[in-house]
Amino acid sequence: MRFVEEIVVEEFLPTFRSMLAEDLRERSLTQREVADALGISQSAVSKYAHGEVGRREAFLEDERVVELVDRIGEGLATGDMTPVQALVEAEVLIRRLEQGDLLASMHEAEMPGLAEYDGDLSVHDPDSGLRNAERVRSSVRRGLRTLTNASGFAGLIPNVGSNLAECLPDAAGIEDVAAVPGRIFDVKGRATVPSDPEFGVSEHVASVLLDARRGGADVSAGLNVRYDENVVSALADAGYTVIEFDPDAEADPIADEVAGRDDLTETFVIYQTGGYGIEAITYILGPDAHTVARTVRDTLLN
């Protein structure tokens, strides 16, 4: 009697870890950094590097495994992906390979009686909340890196600070929106991000994003920058839909402004020119945090 988990532990994991260690070393991480990223010893990394660990050809040639190794390697090397997300992504792939796929075939080859059954061997949900949350946080990190690496972004930060936010697919409230705790501020000409993205820490940009979604806009991310006519004009000239709303309106001005519009671009702009005690602000809303950040970089900073 041989369990599929034994195949995972004895054949998939050594191959997968060695591929990932090799990928990280090619990205110029030290042996210690690779060990820390993978949660293994330096001696294990050395064994992987010197080919002292057996690797299963079927996994080495599987496009899904190769793609995941590349994606996790890039994410861990840049900091866009946490070890938790890397683990979840690997777990999801393993469970998928168990469902009538590569691992299931290997298991059936060793336990022929299993082929008589059409059961579901999955024990993890590929669409789990944890996976979605980690992907959103990763997207926000990537967007933040785009903004902070762009020359001049600090000059677009309003007095109240900026924030980059992205929500879960079925977001219902601000607890479902990831953003920067404490917002992004201009500190001596540098855009400063005080902490790693978290859920439920943004009332400002999160509320604007959720209001736009309630109005029917198909957006998942948003960023606020300062308002002036040149900013809005540059975005309009670049082809983005631009909408003004009244921040003093008693109803739901953002949802009302976007509701029923058929001219909304994938990424669009809403802005208000201020009111009593309200700073004028421009909001860029789009499909994900990285796209929104790229829009600002490419349109307003180049």
The pLDDT, as a whole number, for residue 121 is 38
CA distances from 110 to 23, 52, 105, 107, 113 (A): 31, 25, 9, 5, 9
The pLDDT, as a whole number, for residue 131 is 78
The pLDDT, as a whole number, for residue 127 is 54
Question: Is the pLDDT confidence value at 126 over 70?
Answer: no
The pLDDT, as a whole number, for residue 61 is 93
How does residue 115 score in pLDDT terms, banded at 50, 70 and 90? low
Measured distance CA(148)–CA(190) in Å, rounded: 8
Measured distance CA(100)–CA(118) in Å, rounded: 8
| Entry pTM | 0.75
How does residue 123 score in pLDDT terms, banded at 50, 70 and 90? very low
The pLDDT, as a whole number, for residue 3 is 82
Measured distance CA(93)–CA(133) in Å, rounded: 17
Q: How many CB atoms lie within 10 A of CB 39?
A: 11
Instruction: Check if the beta carbon of residue 294 is closer than 8 Å to that of residue 301.
Output: no
Question: Is the pLDDT confidence value at 222 over 70?
Answer: yes
How does residue 252 score in pLDDT terms, banded at 50, 70 and 90? confident
Beta-sheet pairing, 190-192 with 221-226: unpaired
